[in-house]
Amino acid sequence: MPLVRDLAGRLRRRPESDTAPDGPVSDGPVSDGPVSGRPETDGALGGSPPIDGRPERLVGGRLVALAGTLILLAGVVTLGVCRGAADAPARDRLEQALRVQVRVRSAELALTRDRVGELGRQVAAGRAQQRRAAERQARSAAEVAALGPPGGWVAVRGPGVRITVSGRLPAGVGATGSGADSDSGAGSGAGDDRGRITDHDVADLVNVLWIAGAEAISVNQVRLTTLSAIRAAADVILVGLVPVTAPYVIEAVGDADELTTRLGHSAVIDRLRHRPDSPATTLTVSPAGTVILPAAQLPVLRDARRSG
């Protein structure tokens, strides 16, 4: 730099001008004695003469180092400014890209929050529906439990009556099975039922019990339901699809005194006991303190559906 160089040159020239005396040289006599002064004393002592220009070189070196430092700092600042100016478009592009990403992420966050709210509402609705379904299931279970005893799908026990009836002929034996000649006409057709308890007799006794207020009935430990039918297949009585044989034990759960009274006044009991052509040889009606009836087998409904 010109200014620094000019300053260094002036400093180098300054010691040379200082060697000349400031004032005129004296013309007076010079003393013969020794002149006090450092150069003579140093010479007399044998010391080395002073090195010319050492302070000037030291000051110049410092100035050069200062100038180099300033130049280096200026270069660093200039390089930073240049790089900053060169990176400004890139920073602008990066800033714009980041702003776009922030807007996109904000929109996605808003959509996610809306989705979370919608899912929360769906979960709440599902839980409410689950609670309603659990309540309906509990009510249905209570209804099934209440309908189990009268429907026959649940085993029951309680007080009641027991009817035992048997005929003169065992089941499956009629006129056709007595050994008589079929040409005599005594046993033509389906056979003679006058000495055997028929399905109609059993059905009449069951109907009397239902009318008297029985809550559950079984025939030979076969539970009756609303779908049970008592009918004959050849000479065998079927309760539902289960064959039963004599003696027929009909048990009913209910008010034992009421059932016994109603049976005593029944025309069916009177017919089976007192009519001359009655097939029953024994018919007993006895109250029971505890009657245990089994559960019926659940039917398989293929077409029936609940209407309510």
Where do the structural domains in the chain lie, given as residue ranges? Answer: 1-13+55-148, 152-172+193-293
CATH tag, 152-172+193-293: 3.30.70.1880
Alpha-carbon distance of 169 to 89, in angstroms, equals 118
Q: Given the structure tokens 């027929």, which residue do they identify?
A: 248
- Look at residue 145 in the predicted model and tell me its pLDDT: 83
Alpha-carbon distance of 248 to 170, in angstroms, equals 11
Q: Which two tokens stand for residue 28?
A: 């007076």
Amino acid symbol at 165: V
Q: Given the structure tokens 């002036």, which residue do they identify?
A: 10
- Look at residue 234 in the predicted model and tell me its pLDDT: 83
- Look at residue 281 in the predicted model and tell me its pLDDT: 86
- Look at residue 76 in the predicted model and tell me its pLDDT: 82
Output the CA–CA distances (angstroms, integers) from residue 225 to 18, 157, 294, 308, in the order listed. 144, 16, 12, 22
Asked if 178 and 250 touch (Cβ cutoff 8 Å), the reply is no
Q: How many helices (H) and strands (E) does the chain have?
A: 6, 8
Who contacts 180 (Cβ-Cβ below 8 Å, separation ≥6)? 186, 187
- The tens place of each residue's pLDDT in the chain, 308 residues long, gives 555 456 555 655 554 444 444 444 444 444 444 444 444 444 444 444 444 556 667 777 788 888 888 888 888 888 777 777 666 777 788 888 899 999 999 999 999 999 999 999 999 999 999 999 999 999 988 988 888 888 888 899 999 999 999 887 665 544 334 333 333 333 333 445 567 889 999 999 999 999 999 999 999 999 998 888 999 988 899 998 899 998 999 999 999 999 999 998 999 999 988 888 888 888 999 999 999 999 988 777 778 777 76
Among residues 145, 268, 256, which one has the least CA distance to residue 206?
Answer: 268
Who contacts 148 (Cβ-Cβ below 8 Å, separation ≥6)? 154, 295
On whether the pTM is more than 0.75, the answer is no
- Look at residue 208 in the predicted model and tell me its pLDDT: 94
Q: What angle do CA 37, 42, 43 make, to 5 degrees?
A: 105
Q: Which two tokens stand for residue 45?
A: 């002592």
Alpha-carbon distance of 112 to 94, in angstroms, equals 26
- Look at residue 54 in the predicted model and tell me its pLDDT: 60
